[in-house]
Structure 1
Amino acid sequence: MNVPNPANEGLSAYGASDTVLVLNSGSSSVKYQLVNPAGGEPVAVGNVERIGEEEGVITHKFAGITTKRRQPVKDHTEALEIVLALFAEVGPDLDRAHVVGVGHRVVQGADVFSKPTLIDDEVQAKILELAPLAPLHNPAHVQGMEVARRLLPGVPHVAVFDSAFFATLPEAAYTYALKKDVAKKYAIRRYGAHGTSHQYVSGKVARVLGRDLSQLNQIVLHLGNGASITAVKGGVAVETSMGLTPLEGLVMGTRTGDIDPAVVFHLARNAGMSIDEIDHLFNKESGIKGLSGENDFRELHRLIEEGNEDAKLALDVYIHRLRKYIGAYHAILGRVDVIVFTAGVGENDDIVRARVIADLEPMGVAIDPERNLERSKEPRIISRDWTSTHVMVVPTNEELAIARQVVALIADK
């Protein structure tokens, strides 16, 4: 099997000092990193938050120094102007940073974009056309592209799609049992999200283990405020938990995850709630926060220690859903070589990891308690030596993955 590995491709075309500016434009924020794709380290990182509000929050980190400011930020144009001014004022100077490209994170590429794509007016317009599938994300991405292309016209701009890794899903995995002509007309199918993270982490696992990626079966758990799980067979995604939107699947910080769709009808008919109100409820006020009042897992554990029953139930529901998906994906893969935890919760919460893997010894899976408690930013194995399935913690790095995909694309041009 010829497995693409954007994490390594194309690096030889550029020097070790070259950089890529990675932008993630949200509805009210712009996050950015200046990345050295060869070495893998971030040169500078920052974000502009609360765009359009009375007071914006600006953070820029470079050379161990954090610059933080509070001021009104009218729109994305002003946000990116502020970012470029900070590079000039605080550093590094972008003219001397050998910026070879700008990578734009895009949540939804649907079945139109299955790989990184050079941005021109036509591509930008098409991404905006896909906004009904990601109304909270794609319009903001396009705003960022418009401004960045105008302010940084001298380098190629590349869109890297969260959904692209899932272009390999089998038809049986991505098809909903919805009336066929309706699904086709409105492009309703499973697209997935967090694909850049799942692809990066599954590739990193192979390199850490010294194994051929095409020979590995993995279950990757991306557990942050948003959460998803993917079955990766030989470097290729064959199943994933997020669907048409990032709402489907696991219980998340503020999202319901899987829920009977008839709950929508029930709330509309009996609670008089509008579609927009239900959308807000499911995406912003549910999940761990809806059950416990908190979506920060550190606070959740504190509440549990204090005897809070709502917090205990929230964690129980969260763990139950995760274990159910692991069992299902084990059946789909047939053999599981690695179960890997990544993202904020996955990388840092030893309690979640221990509970997810508890009592799976009959499946050849067990965590070593001491290894699980280790605090490290390095990829590591936390399973017992005798197990047939490795359990690993592998920090994700979506910005580096995007930067390397940018370099790989422009190296081919």
Structure 2
Amino acid sequence: MSNILVINCGSSSIKYALILQDYDYRLYGLAENLGTPQARISGITKDKEKFVVELGLADHEQALSVAMQRISHFKFDAIGHRVVHGGTMTHARLIDDQVIEDIQNISNLAPLHNPANLIGINATMKLYPDLPQVTVFDTAFHQTMPNKAYLYALPRELHQQYGIRRYGFHGTSHAYVSERASTLAGQKNQGGWIVAHLGNGCSTCAVWNGQSLDTSMGLTPLEGVVMGTRSGDVDPSLHYFLNINLGWDLAKIDQVLNKDSGLLGLSGLSNDMRTLVEAAEHGNADAQIAIDVFVYRLAKSMAAMSCALPQLDGLIFTGGIGENSGFIREKVIWALPHFGLSLNAENNATRAQEIRIDDGTGPQIWVIPTDEEGRIANETRHIALGEAVD
């Protein structure tokens, strides 16, 4: 059980990665714009060369067939699927009819994601009916949260009958980087850590002894900190205000909060932090405001996460922004003066590298490049072998 294929299926896209246990590289690719004339697949071959193939009007199953041809030189032993919402399921599961039914039954909690994830599962089940296949849920890591962290202050029947509660996301990333940082610190899955996963989607997480005790995302990935195009927390009555005063329906409001807000909405320029930092350096006031709001709301969330921890041993930054922007990391640290944090400026200037960036006083500060595919492959391997996941 050495080579694992990881599939991340969206409504019009498929990301795949072949994790080769005995090799220091991976084969990966992205099929996008599926079902349209612009459908294509791009990626890396076994010779580490880039490729692009136009797919015409290919659907998911056809795109997967093309992708599999690209990795046909290697045998793989199991397939791991990223599934966004697992409800209250606490661990990865070997796929059978019951698992597929369970994912379908909670699709109302993730109507844009779970049906798309099922497309990938159904396609690979047809292509590889004899291989063990495993679902790994973004939400599973957070099911150790206590009820004081996951319950909303709503009439209790909304939780009991309809499952309305906080679930959290980015679980595979939070699990991987917190385990890795604690291992590097000398005590695997021990101590209290605050993780900031910062990409186009952003979330924070409080991890104690390897378990999630709180996280910033909630029923959906919209709750929490400011993100690339998502607003994060807003007044819940905003929906009513926009409907009454602007005439927007729920679909319009949902579109604006998820696709047109965040860094993009604040700046009117871009959802890419690199673009905003450059624009701010050239005097763009709106870009600077977007950065300031992003940093403040992030620091505020990280401070809130500390309430879940018996003690704070360190902070972890990951994701595209977290791994690459020493500028943002420094601003966040400045916004948390009461944590007793101190940066090593030289180490903090490092990009996309596993490194400790504090100066040795106060809580540790780590940059850990996330490896969600590797985590999914590891969980898939254990579940397929009938072993407990580390």
TM-score exceeds 0.5:
yes
Aligned positions, number? 385
Q: In the alignment, residue 29 of structure 2 is paired with which amino acid?
A: G
Q: Which digits, 9 at most, give the CA deviation of each residue in 1:163-192, with x for residues without a partner? A: 000110000000000111123222100000
Partner in structure 1 of residue 41 of structure 2: 58
Q: 1:322 to 1:40 in 2, by over 3 A?
A: farther
1:230-282 CA deviation, whole Å, 9 max, x = no partner? 00011110000000000000100000001111000111111111111111111
**CA distance in 2 between partners of 1:264 and 1:394 (Å):** 37
Q: Deviations over 1:16-36 (max 9, x none)?
A: xx2000000001100000002
1:363 maps to what in 2? 339
Partner of 1:6: none
**Sequence identity percentage:** 40
**Does the CA-based 8 Å contact 2:180-2:188 persist in structure 1?**
no
Question: Which digits, 9 at most, give the CA deviation of each residue in 1:186-214, with x for residues without a partner?
Answer: 21000000000000111111221222423
Q: Which residue of 2 aligns with 1:81?
A: 65
Map 1:145-184 → 2, pairs under 5 A? 145-184=121-160
Q: 1:359 to 1:25 in 2, by over 3 A?
A: closer
Match for residue 109 of structure 1? 86
More moved, 176-185 vs 238-247: 176-185
After superposition, the Cα gap between the structure-2 partners of 1:333 and 1:53, relative to the gap in structure 1 and judged at 3 Å, is: same
Partner Cα distance (2:176, 2:68) in 1: 28
Does residue 21 in structure 1 map to residue 5 in structure 2? yes
Equivalent position amino acid for 1:403 in 2? A
Cα distance in 2 for residues equivalent to 1:82 and 1:311? 41
1:142 corresponds in structure 2 to 118
CA distance in 1, matches of 2:199, 2:228: 8
Q: Residues of 2 paired with 1:400 and 1:41: CA distance?
A: 12
SS in 2 for 1:248: coil
Equivalences for 1:9-408 in 2 at 5 Å? Answer: 14=1, 18-36=2-20, 38=21, 41-62=24-45, 63-88=47-72, 93=73, 97-111=74-88, 113-214=89-190, 216-292=191-267, 293-358=269-334, 360-377=336-353, 379-385=354-360, 387-408=361-382
- Mapped to 1, the partners of 2:203 and 2:344 lie a distance apart of 24
CA shift in 2, pair 1:362/1:282, >3 Å: closer
Between the aligned partners of 1:103 and 1:211, the Cα distance in structure 2 is 28
Shift of 1:376: 4.5
TM-score, with length taken from structure 1: 0.90
Report the AA paired with residue 384 of structure 2.
Answer: I
**SS of residue paired to 1:44:** strand
Aligned partners of 2:22, 2:288: CA distance in 1, in Å?
A: 42
Amino acid at match of 1:128: Q
**Alpha-carbon distance between aligned partners in 2 of 1:87 and 1:299, rounded to the nearest angstrom:** 35
Once the two structures are TM-superposed, the CA of residue 121 in structure 1 deviates from its matched residue by: 2.0
Q: Could you state the TM-score of these two structures normalised by the residue count of structure 2?
A: 0.95
Residues 217/39 of structure 1: CA separation in 2 closer, same or farther (3 Å cut): farther
Q: Distance in 1 between matches of 2:275 and 2:206?
A: 30
The alignment partner of 1:270 has SS state of helix
Using the alignment, how far apart are the partners of 2:336 and 2:139 within structure 1? 31
Distance 1:304 1:115 in 2: 43
Offset at residue 41 of structure 1 (A): 4.4
SS of residue matched to 2:86? coil
Aligned partner of 1:55: which letter?
Q
C-alpha spacing 1:98/1:87, structure 2 compared with 1 (3 Å): closer
| Structure 2 letter corresponding to 1:234 | N
Q: Give CA deviations for 1:358-377 in whole Å, capped at 9, x if unaligned.
A: 16454221111111012353
Aligned in 2, Cα 1:45/1:212: closer, same or farther, shift over 3 Å?
A: closer
Post-superposition offset of 1:129: 1.7
CA contact (8 A) 2:179 2:188 kept: no
Contact 1:217 1:233 in 2 (8 A): yes
Q: Give the conservation status (yes or no) of the 8 Å contact 1:288–1:314.
A: yes
| TM-superposed deviation, 1:76 | 1.1
- What is residue 412 of structure 1 aligned with on the other side? 386
Distance 1:81 1:118, change over 3 A: same
- 2:315 and 2:139 mapped to 1: Cα distance? 21
Query: 1:306: Cα distance to partner?
Result: 1.6
CA distance, structure 2, for counterparts of residue 123 and residue 262 of structure 1: 37
| Separation in 2, partners of 1:40, 1:243 | 38
- Residue 302 of structure 1 and its aligned partner are, at CA, apart by 1.4
Q: What RMSD in Å do the two structures reach over aligned CA positions? A: 1.5
Higher relative contact order (CA closer than 8 Å, sequence separation 6+): 1
1:127 CA drift (Å): 0.5
2:307, 2:114 → 1: CA distance? Answer: 34
Gaps of 5+ in 2: none
Q: Which runs of 5+ in 1 are unaligned?
A: 1-13
Distance 1:199 1:142 in 2: 23
Q: Secondary structure at the match of 1:211?
A: coil
